[in-house]
Structure formats: C-alpha cells, structure tokens
Amino acid sequence: MVEAQNLSLLEVKDLTEYCYPESNVSCVKISHNVATKTVFYSIVVFAIVITIVGNAVVIISIAHFKQLHTPTNILVMSLALVDLLLGLTVMPFSMVRTLDGCWYFGEEFCYWHSIFDFVFTCASIFHLISIATDRYQAVCYPLQYPTRITLPVSGFMAALSWILATVYAFSTVGIKSTEANLEDYIASIDCFGSCLFLINAVCASISTCLFFILPVCIMIGLYVQIFLVSEKHAKKMEGTKKNRPDVTSNKILQIVKHEKKAAKTLGIVVGTFNLCWMPYFIISLVDPLSNFTTPAIIYDVFFWLGYTNSTFNPIIYGLFYPWFRKTLHLIVTLKIFAPNSSDINVYAA
C-alpha cells in the first residue's frame, strides 16, 4: 500500500513541468490545454498586431502629411509612439510569461522589460494630461490658442512627458526602491525562470496617487470645463447665425463644432485609458496591503486590460477621425510614395 502511494507521488512529480527542467531551482511551468493556448495566443497576437500596425499608421500619417502637422497631432503622434513601443518591447514577452508562467529571456532583459513597462505607462498619462491641456486651451481660449500652443510648445510638452516618465521609472523601478522591505518575501518565492515585478505599499500608494487619482481628476476637470465652454460657444454662435447669417458667422460656427468634436474624440481616448488602467492601479495598491494574496490570474487579466488600451487608441482614431481612414487608404495603396503626396488634402471627402 505504501509503495503504491509512493509510486503515485512519483508519477505526479514526473508530470510536473518546469521552465528549465535541467535546473533544480526552476520555476514550475503553468500547464494549459491546447484549446486554452490557442485562444489566448490568437487574442493576444491579434491585439499586438493591431497595436503595432495601428499606431504605426498614426505616426506615419501625422509625420508625412503636412496638413496634419498641428500641435494637437504632435501630441497624438507621440502618444502613438508610446503605444507602438509598448506593443514591440513589452506585450510579446509578457504574453509568453502570462501563459507559461516562465521568463525565458534572461535576468537582464527582465530588468529592462519592467522599466519599459513603467516608462510607457507613465508616459501615456503625461501625454494624456498634455492633450487635455491642449484641448482646454483650444476650446476655452480660442483666440489666444494659436500663440499659446504652437508646434514647438507641443513638441516640448511631448518631450517633457517622455523625460518625466523616464526619470520616475529609473528612480523607482531602476534602483529597485519599489522592492524595499520585500527582500525576504521575494527570496521566498523566487526561482529560476521568474521575472517578478513587485511594488511595496509605499510606492504603490505614491504611484496610484501621482499617476492615477491626481491625473484622472485633472483630466476630468479639464474635459468638464471644455464641454461646458464648447456648449456655451455653440449656443452663442447659433444665436448669432440666426440674427446675422453671414459667411464669417458660419465659419466660426464650423470651427467651434470642429474643436468640440476633436475634444470629444480625445475625451474618449482619455476615458478609455482610465477604464483600462483603473483595475490594475487598484489591484497594485490593494495587493501589497493584503500581503500579495491576489490570485495571479486576476493580476494578469488586469494588466492585460491595461495593455489593450494601446490597442484601442488607433481603433478610436479610425472610428472618429476621417483623416485616419483616408491616410490608411493612402498608405495601404502606396500612394504616399507618389511625388508631392505630403500635400494631399486628407480632410477632403
């Protein structure tokens, strides 16, 4: 009877898969059936392809066509670069780690992968604040906007967003201050083939306040003001048009409607970011306070939901920006290589 039990235990042990079978300190590999792997890889690969291709189209379109060289689009292009790099350097490797529970890409790249992840998330937030500020100036101060927000100013805002995100990432994840006081816990769960990214309670609280609660409040406040002012302008111009239906009034009314639509579209981008990343920021705050008892699958679902924000952005542009659909057609048909193609009117029907 005892021998049968021992044999059964040996059989179970033999069925256990390891990330690195040749190592006696290897992490245990997560086992999934073929159907689960197929579905997961299909969905995630599709999301990665949309992220890379969609954001590449945004970048190429704005960079190539002169008509799109506006301060707002400079910020949109820089945000698309953030999303593109996330799709190239973070999502493919996280995909493998999520499904297998193993990190096959070396300890050095694990370090850089964590930094890239943090940089791109923070950079997205700073870019969205910059875009909200740009739209606030355009709608609430339309006469001063052309002199306040110029191409150099928007370029500076984009560069500042990258710099602040990079500095914060290296000053926290880079020097591993996020793992302070977690050394014993990390040592107890660490194994060969893991790539841990843990944040202690203090850093999680600071990050959540500085990079989610505060930015969300700022962006919501700006967009509420934008829509209130745009509605006020629209009603005022409608009244002016009835009393004096001249060409100037019609032109101003069209400008007001255009700015309102642009603000609405970018407001959707901001709202999508908040919805995608909110669960992750909440769980990253709750997890260290509950001694890291959150099930791994919940954590994986929440950070993948955050990643898909980079997938949704070009889809939003495609749905709400006619110029995006036109430039996509010009790129796919290779018409951007024609002489003087950069002068094409992308706003034409």
Q: Mind listing the pLDDT tens digit of every residue in the chain (349 residues)?
A: 444 444 444 444 456 888 898 888 898 988 888 888 899 899 999 999 999 999 999 999 999 999 999 999 999 999 999 999 999 999 999 999 988 889 999 889 999 999 999 899 889 888 988 988 998 888 888 888 899 999 999 999 999 999 999 998 898 888 887 888 788 888 888 889 888 888 888 888 887 887 778 888 888 888 888 888 877 766 776 666 555 555 555 666 666 666 667 777 777 888 888 888 888 888 888 888 888 888 888 888 898 999 999 999 898 888 888 888 899 999 999 999 999 999 999 986 5
Q: State residue 254's pLDDT score.
A: 67
Q: State residue 79's pLDDT score.
A: 93
Q: State residue 1's pLDDT score.
A: 47
Q: State residue 12's pLDDT score.
A: 45
The full set of domains in the chain, from first to last, is 33-337 (1.20.1070.10)
Q: State residue 274's pLDDT score.
A: 84
* Both tokens assigned to 253: 């009314």
For 176, counting Cβ atoms within 10 Å of its Cβ (0-12 exposed, 13-18 middle, 19+ buried), the class is middle
Q: State residue 112's pLDDT score.
A: 93
C-alpha to C-alpha distance for 85 and 90, rounded to whole angstroms: 8
CB 280 within 8 A of CB 302: yes
The maximal CA–CA distance of the chain, rounded, in angstroms, is 100
CB 138 within 8 A of CB 149: yes
Q: State residue 10's pLDDT score.
A: 44
Q: State residue 74's pLDDT score.
A: 95
Q: State residue 59's pLDDT score.
A: 95
C-alpha to C-alpha distance for 209 and 206, rounded to whole angstroms: 5
Q: What is the Cα Rg of the chain in Å? A: 25
Using DSSP, state whether 24 is helix, strand or coil: coil
Q: State residue 205's pLDDT score.
A: 83
Q: State residue 238's pLDDT score.
A: 64
Q: State residue 159's pLDDT score.
A: 96
* Both tokens assigned to 182: 């977690």
Dihedral over Cα of 297, 107, 84, 132: its sign: positive
Q: State residue 11's pLDDT score.
A: 44
